[in-house]
Each structure stands twice: as C-alpha cells, then as structure tokens.
Structure 1
Amino acid sequence: MFERFTAAARQVVVQAQAEARELRHDRIGAEHLLLAVLADPSDPAAALLVAKGLDHAAARAELARRPDPGSDAEALASIGVDLDAVRAAVEAEFGEGALSGAREEPRRRGWFKGDHRPFTAEAKKVLELSLREALRLKEKEIGVRHLLLGLLRAGEGPAVTLVTERGIDPDGLRRELEALSGR
C-alpha cells in the first residue's frame, strides 16, 4: 500500500513516528498522523486546518497535556500512580533519559530507522481508510488529503476529538478536502 503514497504522504507517516517519539508515546496513533500533517502547513490539506484555527503548535501542546491513550501511564494513573512524577524523580536522581533504556537497536531498512514505534489499530485503520478514500475519489495515489479524509472517516479517537474541540465541523472539513482532490 505504501508504494501508492505520494512523497508528502510518506513524509507524514515518517513525521508521525517522530511526533510519537517526541511526545514519549509508545505507539503511533491517529493523533500523531494529525500532528505530522500539521507539521507542514504549506500542504493544502494542512492549510485548511490551520485556517480553521488548528495548527501544529496548538495541537501538540494539547496532546502533550493528555495521557498517551493505551499507555502504561494511563494504566498507572487509574491506580493513582503519576508516571511523569516517577520519571521526573528518577531523572533527578540518575540523570536525564535514565529510563529511556539505551540499548542497541537492530538495523532497520526502509522508512523507519532507529527508535521504531508500532502503529495503533486506530492509526492502521486511518491508513487503510486513506487508501479507500483515494479509490473512492478515483485517484491513483494517496496524498495528505486522503490521510485526513481517512482520519475523519474513522470518526473517533483523540485526533478527531482534537479537531472537533477546535470547533471544526468534520463534515464541512471533509467536503473541503474532497474539493481539493479535484485539483
């Protein structure tokens, strides 16, 4: 499927990996794909979101405030343990990155090298739906707008919540993204 991705859409997938790593999230979710789209505001699909008040900095700050869905931090928080406080205490005692588990990473080929994080089921669904959106629009390549259309079609999760919390109508955004695909 990835052979159908445009260079810009491939860059979004690679950037999503970096976004998850920088937020210290264990997996790449749809929210990281959204952040990666917003990282290049010159893309017409990203520009639609920016024009509606959702830019990379605001989205990243909001996601940084929220626990990583499905992470150890969320599970520990449910029993009253603040993983960020534990991490801060350990790093104060043993130095920054003490819990990062510095280890030799296997050599990787392809897009992902080094500190690889797996995709969540939701992110995989978004990628699959982006292909379906491209096919529905009778387009041969999967572009950034198809990734956003796939994200909106998934209809739930932190990424869609972030979009709707900004007052962006998902159906209206979908229509605008579909209009872009004719260009």
Structure 2
Amino acid sequence: MFERFTKDARGVVTGAVTHAERAGADSLSVEYLLLALLDRQGTRASFALAALGVVDRRAELEVALAAARRRGGLSTADAEALAGIGIDVTEIVARVEEAHGPGALEGDRKDKSWWAGRRSFARESKDVLEKSLRIAVGRGDRHIGDEHLLLAMAATPGVVADVLAQCGAGYGAVERALYGE
C-alpha cells in the first residue's frame, strides 16, 4: 500500500513517527498522524484544514487530544454517554491518578529505551491507512495523498474524528473543502 502514497502522504507518516518519538510512545496512533498532517504546508489537506479553520484552532485541538489521552482514549462523546448512565469519567480518572500517578490511563508509554527500532502502527492507525486506500480507490485515484488520509481520519470513529468534528472538520465538511461536493 505504501508504494501508492504520494510524497505528501509519506511526509505525514514520517512526521507522525517524529511526534510519537517526542511523546515517548511505542506506537503510532491516529493522533500523531493528525498532528503531522497539521504540520504540513502547501498540500491539499493543509489547504482544506486551513479553509475549515482547523489550523487556527490547533492549540484547542491539542488540548482536546490530551484530555482524551488522559481519559484513556475515551472521546468526549464516550464520556458523555457514560455520564448518562451515572458513570463519572472525570472522577474515575482522578481516583486512578491519585493511586497511580498523573497520566496513569494514558497507556502506550514505555521506557524510551524499550525498543529503539521502528514504531508499529496502532490498530486505529492501520484502520485509517486502510480506509485511505478505500477512499482513494472509491474516488478513482491511483495514489493515496494526504487528502485521503485526512478524509479517512474524519471518517474513522474515534477520538481524532470527534476532535476534528468539534473543530468543524467532520467528514462532510472536509470532503466539501477538498472537492467542493
């Protein structure tokens, strides 16, 4: 599949590795793909993100991603659904952190010397990459560009899709910004 990636899409993956290394993560999550996508300039996806105002809201986006990470990967919608049945996620996080220290639910953190080799893709990242291929094929494109990665992130349920939607970049908005449809 990677042979079909454009230079821009490969740049997103390379940037995600850098973000994961900085964070001390042992795998590449969709969050790192999104942050790498936001770092890019002069690409189709970067123009779409700028047109939707996501670039200007990067700090807000990073705060939302950090909050979800602190909740063990639960999205705001997940936390609200649990609150609807009487489970206070904020209280659970506070108790776990009280017992085990700050960031205890963040997972994916290991000793930085644990594995000095390549970082693997988290399951949800693999799902996004596979979906980007399906989106490209569905559109009749022979390549996978960063625009396909962005569409796949917006279409794959999870924290990143929720955060993008909160910033006004749900799948429909991204598709309109990219293709005017």
Could you tell me the TM-score, scaled by structure 1's length? 0.69
SS at match of 1:66: helix
1:51 aligns with 2:61: no
1:101 aligned to 2:101? no
- 1:42-91 C-alpha deviation (Å, 9 max, x unpaired): 222122212322124443343234326757xx9xx6582328x8479xxx
For 2:174, the equivalent position in structure 1 comes to 173
Say whether 1:16 aligns with 2:31.
no
Answer yes or no: is the 8 Å Cα contact 1:27–1:117 preserved in 2. yes
Which residue of structure 1 aligns with residue 145 of structure 2? 143
CA distance in structure 2 between the partners assigned to 1:37 and 1:146 by the alignment: 11
SS of the residue 1:82 aligns to:
helix
8 Å CA contact 1:29–1:119 kept in 2: the answer is yes
C-alpha contact (below 8 Å) 1:12/1:36 kept by paired residues:
yes
Q: RMSD over aligned Cα, in angstroms?
A: 3.2
The Cα of 1:36 is off from its aligned counterpart by 1.1
In the TM superposition, 1:119-134 aligns within 5 A as 119-134=121-136
Given that residues 12 and 33 in structure 1 are in contact (C-alpha distance below 8 angstroms), is that contact kept between their aligned partners in structure 2?
yes
Gaps of 5+ in 2: 74-88, 104-108
Indicate if the aligned counterparts of 2:51 and 2:177 stay in contact, CA closer than 8 A: no
The equivalent of 1:60 in structure 2 is 62
State how far apart, in whole Å, the 2-side matches of 1:178 and 1:38 are. Answer: 19
Per the alignment, in what secondary structure is the counterpart of residue 167 of structure 1?
A: coil
| 8 Å contact from structure 2 (residues 37, 46) kept in 1 | yes
Contact 2:45 2:178 in 1 (8 A): yes
Which 4+ runs in 1 deviate beyond 4 A?
A: 68-71
Residues 35 and 59, structure 1, Cα contact 8 Å, conserved in 2? no
TM-score for the superposition, normalised by structure 2: 0.70
Q: Which residue does the alignment assign to 1:92? A: none
The aligned length equals 156
- Once the two structures are TM-superposed, the CA of residue 26 in structure 1 deviates from its matched residue by 4.1
Which blocks of at least 5 consecutive residues in structure 1 are unaligned?
89-98, 106-113
Percent identity reads 31
Q: Does 1:41 align with 2:25?
A: no
Return the structure number with greater relative CO, CA threshold 8 A, min gap 6.
2
- Contact 2:136-2:148 within 8 A present in 1 as well: yes
